[in-house]
Each structure stands twice: as structure tokens, then as C-alpha cells.
Structure 1
Amino acid sequence: MKKQWMIMILLFVLAGCSSKVESNATQSEGLEVEVISNPENATLLEPVEIIASITHSGTSVGEGTDIFFEIIKKDGPVIGTVTPEKVSDGKYQIKTIFDEEGTYEFISHVTLGPEHVMPVYEMKVSP
């Protein structure tokens, strides 16, 4: 009986892996994300905007987009996740201030229907 359960669990795991492979194959078939910052490199204790521009097949996306930023200090801890504010169709932004210098990575997790992309944007924060 134990062996049958283990086989069933193994089959479910394998089925899950194969469906992930199929969805990964379509993840960039039209969904594009460009991330920029204003200013390009941040200064300690000065405001900065991180902006994600999202298009699908060349057209700015409206409703149905799920997006959040994962913020990581490079060679350091994960700072956390932030859901950006929608400023217009296809444009999302966060505003923040850094209190530590270093290099930070912003991983934007963007999902539209079955497609998912995770571009990484890197920014230096200096005194």
C-alpha cells in the first residue's frame, strides 16, 4: 500500500513538472517587460522611481496583468516584495528611498494569462 502511494505521488510530481515545462516554453511569446529607474542610479536618502513598461505583442497591456517586484540587496538579504502602482496602461511604478549603499536587484514578476516573465533590473545606490 505504501509503495502505491509513493508511485502516485511520483506521478503527480512528474505531471506537474511536465506542465511547467510547457508553460515556460510560451512565457516570452509576446509578453515583454522593460524596467527602468529615474534616476538611473540612486543616491542615499534621495527618492527614486522604478518603472515597469509591459507590452504584449507590441501593445501596452491594460487589465489582467499581475505584477510585483522582489527587491534583493546583491550579495545580501531579500528586502521584500512590493506591488507597484498602475500609472497608465502598461506602466507600473514604485517610489522608494534607500538608506544603505550597495547594488540592488529588482526582479519584476509579471503574469498575463498563461505567460510569466521575470526580468531583473540592477541599480547602484551610492552616497
Structure 2
Amino acid sequence: MKKTIFAIFMAFIFLAGCGQTSEDHTSGKKEEAPAPIDAVIELPEKGEPNAEVAIAVTVSQGKKPVEDASEVKFEIWKEGKKDASEKVEAKHSENGKYTITYTFLEDGLYHVQSHVTARDMHTMPTETIQIGKVEEGLHEHSEDAAEEGHHHHGEVEIQLEKPEVIKAKGQTPLAVLLEKDDSPLTDARVRLEITQQGSNPAWVDMEEATDGEYKSDYQFPSGGTYTITIHVQNDAGLHEHTEVEVTVE
């Protein structure tokens, strides 16, 4: 009889402990994912040749300034001359702002892209500035070329292949084609950084299917406009990246 009572008592203690553990577990709050970083470039719409132009990018996270970005650079190139781009390290000033002064030497349309790395996140917004006289229609041509998803970076040609129509919540096949010196670039590490305004980036590792062709599927969670940043690296020290915008229905 005593053994029976003792067994019932121990079972009661065990069940009570389990209930307390379950309660503690359910009452614990889930850790929220960190807010994405945001970068806004500030520069005038127009400038003059051989005159200094102040360029800044303000970096924030969740509406709070980011004062500890690990790297902020500006990449600047004249329309149609991305291969000859120049990168300039920015200096931190205050309130999440990182600045440079730059002198444009010739008339033309220029692209200014900030490369911001902070808190294990990366973003690369781009703006344009007109210096002196610009050939009519050049700005529209620049926008059309960017939408094609076909970019030259240094010696590497990067092309994103995707379906004409992309549907949310379905597996979307994506492919990146890489060429260097008119030959397929093999044995590269290719990652896609997929972001939508206000959301954390999703990272997709791609596999080389054939020489110079890297493939992966991705399921876009909802409709809208996404930015796909293609990161390309290899053991020879190559590190290139470019951005492509896609629309998801």
C-alpha cells in the first residue's frame, strides 16, 4: 500500500514539473529577427565638371542611425563605362551619415552606388547625377539597360535568367550565367541576396550546373518588387556583385 501511495505521489510531482516546464516554454518570447539596414544616398541632381560635389549616404536600422558600419564605399562610373568605375572609401560623420567629396572631370551622366556593409547585412542603392551637358535620351537609355539584368563588372559578365512571369509562393527557377574573357567562369561561389523593402534578406546558394551556369530555385513569399543582389567570388580573389530588380505577381 505504501509503495502504491509513493508511486502516485511521484507521478504527481512529475506531471506538475512537466506542466511548469511547458508553461515556461510557452511564456518565453520568440526572438525577433533584426530589422534590415536602409541606406539613402544624398547628392544633387546636377553638377559641373572640375567642381567638388558632396556625396553622402545615411544608414539606418529600424529608424535608428547606424554609426558602426563595417564598410561604406561609393562606386562611381560614367554611363556606359562601368568597367572603369572608381571606388572611394567614405568617412563617418554623424547620425548614421557617411560622406565623400568627389570631382567629376567630364560632362555626362554618372552613376553613384554606395556599398554598405553593417551588422552582417549589405545593401547597394544607386543614384545618378548629371554633370554639365548630357546627351538627350541618355538617361532613359541607362534605365532600360539596367532593367535587362545583364551587367558587366570588371572582367566578369553577369547575367540573371528568370521566367518572364514570376508567381509568389511557387518554386521559381533562377540561373546566373558568368563569363570572363569571353569564356564561361567556372568554380565560382555564387549567392543570391534577395530582399524586399522592409524585410530581412534571404540568402540562396547556387550550384554550378554546367560550365559558367549556376542554378537554384527560390520561393518568393509574396507579390511585389524584389531586389536580387548577385554575389560572385572565387579562390583567385574575385569578388563582384550586381543588382537586378524583379517583379513578383
Q: TM-score, normalised by structure 2?
A: 0.38
Partners of 1:33 and 1:54 in 2: how far apart?
4
**Aligned partner of residue 72 in structure 1, secondary structure:** strand
Paired residue type of 1:75: G
Q: State how far apart, in whole Å, the 2-side matches of 1:87 and 1:59 are.
A: 15
What's the secondary structure of 2:114's corresponding residue?
A: strand
Distance across 2 between alignment mates of 1:49 and 1:36? 8
Which structure is larger by alpha-carbon Rg, 1 or 2? 2
Unpaired runs of at least 5, structure 1? 1-25
Q: 1:87 aligns with which of 86, 90, 93?
A: 93
- The residue type equivalent to 2:67 in the other structure is G
Tell me which residue corresponds to 1:3. none
Match of 1:112 among 91, 107, 118: 118
1:45 to 32, 46, 50: 50
Pairs aligned (count): 100
| Structure 2 gaps, min length 5 | 1-32, 134-249
- Verify the 8 A CA contact 1:33 1:54 in the aligned structure 2: yes
- One-letter identity of the residue aligned with 2:57: A
The residue identity in structure 1 corresponding to 2:73 is F
- CA gap 1:64/1:118 in 2 versus in 1, 3 angstroms: closer
User: Cα distance, 1:74 vs. partner?
Assistant: 1.1
Aligned position for 1:60: 65
Provide the residue aligned with 1:69 in structure 2: 74
The answer to whether the 8 A contact 1:30-1:58 is kept is no
Runs of 4+ in structure 1 over 3 Å off: none
2:94 corresponds to which letter in structure 1? S
2:128 corresponds to 1:122: yes
